[in-house]
Amino acid sequence: MPDKIVVAGVPVDTRHWIGGRRVASGDTFADHSPIDGRLIGEIARGGPAEARAAVAAARDAFPSWAATSRSERARLLHAVADGVEKRIEELAIVETTDNGALLRSHRRGVMPRVAHNFRFFADWLLTLEHDDFETRGHTNHVSWDPAGPAVLITPWNAPLMLATWKVAPALAAGNTVVLKPAEWSPLTASLLADIAAEAGLPAGVLNVVQGYGAEIGDALTSHPDVRRISFTGSVPTARRIAGSAAANLTPLSLELGGKSPLLVFADADLDLAVDLAVEQYDNAGQVCLAATRILVEESVAEEFTRRFVAKAGALVQGDPRDEATDIGPNIHPRQLEKIDGFVRRALAAGARAVIGGQRGDGQCYAPTLLTDVAQDSEIVQEEVFGPVLTLQTFAGEEEAVRLANDTRFGLAATLATGDPERAARVGARLVAGTVWVNCFFVRDLQAPFGGSRLSGVGREGGTWSFDFYCDLKNTVTAPKGWKDHG
């Protein structure tokens, strides 16, 4: 196995990054591009031995990193951000090749956001404080202490952005990190290791191990030296991770699936509502936050559908490297088969495809809208994670809220209405970690992010991230008892 491969002209190391050096494995796994199915390269396939080595490196580096001043940690995170910004074009083309998302989105939004993740948490660290308060004359002082090595397990749909959403606050908090990227999109995590090393991050502070979760995951999440675990992915995997971490009572942050609603009321700006609905096809529908259940008030459902079909029909599906493309391929043949299975079963159960309902070229799935779906049907209740939306109607607010909340999930909800009082009233009743009103995907890093019900455990963002990645300490000092040191 070559130590490096060249991806769209960019050299990428295929080995793990452990303790400040590259480490090979005896076995590999194949990484294929969803654009054309070709083999990109053979990637080091880690297992328990690599997991233990990475945790040991993080453990050994922790005391020094935890003792590093806030200002120095912040400086190094800004240096990592500088490195990301210098390599935005390289990161963008490698990630597009690896996961099939739009190159234009990576260039203009995703990779700049990666740099922003580091800068935001570096700056937030320097402002992190809680006012002292008194109890019967005693002073209470709250501090955020580094917790220890953190294992971060990240998904394939936005690999580097979602990885650094975890890596940046964990490092800012003074923790050391073992990052395990998804096996379907491992390449930009390897590039991040290079960037971090070039920025001067000490050896062992950031480690990257690659491989299949079933082979390496338990050794990471059950390790007694790991003090934090953050995972983004599926509910079944989260259950396994939680069980693995239970013996050590390792704190968990879990951002899981969604089956989010988009509620369109008759008083909404219908063109805006249609734009919001069509936006749910972003990244080929591979977005956990996507509002895949469109709920439309009966009186405007026909007009909404007409405008939606026209708007969605103008989308261009194809090569994600082409500037004109709006929807690229789904990431893996297994994912494509899963999406198609959901749709075929829905159609067999009586659903009607207003648009789409079939595979496209290569690993593409046609943007699909299904109607005539029952509330308790699989297609309404289970996460598809592809460009598949359902449309149902409601008669009024009560039914809208009931339908919106009638799933096991609670990650997000989107609401389109022209009435601010209705927006406040309905928004307050929706079970969701984030509610967008007349907008979608507006995310500020200082806001809490996470899900309710089976959509997750915990919140990250701003101070909430530090609350998770740190051990909070309260020091209570008596007003007397001091000796004269004069």
How far apart are the C-alpha atoms of 224 and 220, rounded to whole Å?
9
135 exposed, middle or buried (CB, 10 Å; 0-12, 13-18, 19+)? exposed
Stated length of the chain: 486
Amino acid sitting at position 339: I
Using alpha carbons, select from 354, 390, 356 the residue that is nearest to residue 373. 390
How far apart are the C-alpha atoms of 165 and 150, rounded to whole Å?
13
| C-alpha distances out from residue 221 to 56, 150, 160, 243, Å | 13, 9, 21, 9
DSSP assignment letter at 201: P
How far apart are the C-alpha atoms of 110 and 92, rounded to whole Å?
8
In the numeric block, which tokens belong to residue 180? Answer: 């395990």
Q: Write down the catalytic residue from 50, 288, 383, 470.
A: 288
* CA geometry: angle 210, 211, 216, nearest 5 deg: 105
- The enclosing H or E element of 146 equals strand 138-146
How far apart are the C-alpha atoms of 150 and 231, rounded to whole Å?
11
383 is catalytic: no
Largest CA distance in the chain: 86
In the numeric block, which tokens belong to residue 181? Answer: 């990227």
How far apart are the C-alpha atoms of 128 and 174, rounded to whole Å?
13
How far apart are the C-alpha atoms of 285 and 329, rounded to whole Å?
10
| Residue 420 main-chain phi, psi, to 5 deg | -65, -30
DSSP assignment letter at 317: B
Specify which residues 142 forms β-bridges with. Answer: 474
Under 8 Å CB-to-CB from 480, ≥6 apart: which residues?
A: none
Q: Write down the catalytic residue from 50, 90, 255, 460.
A: 255
470 is catalytic: no
Amino acid sitting at position 11: P
In the numeric block, which tokens belong to residue 311? Answer: 């708007």
Amino acid sitting at position 84: V
Q: What is the DSSP string of 253-305?
A: EEE-----EEEE-TTS-HHHHHHHHHGGGGGGG--TT---EEEEEHHHHHHHH
Centre a 10 Å sphere on the Cβ of residue 298 and count the other Cβ atoms it contains.
12
List active site positions: 255, 288
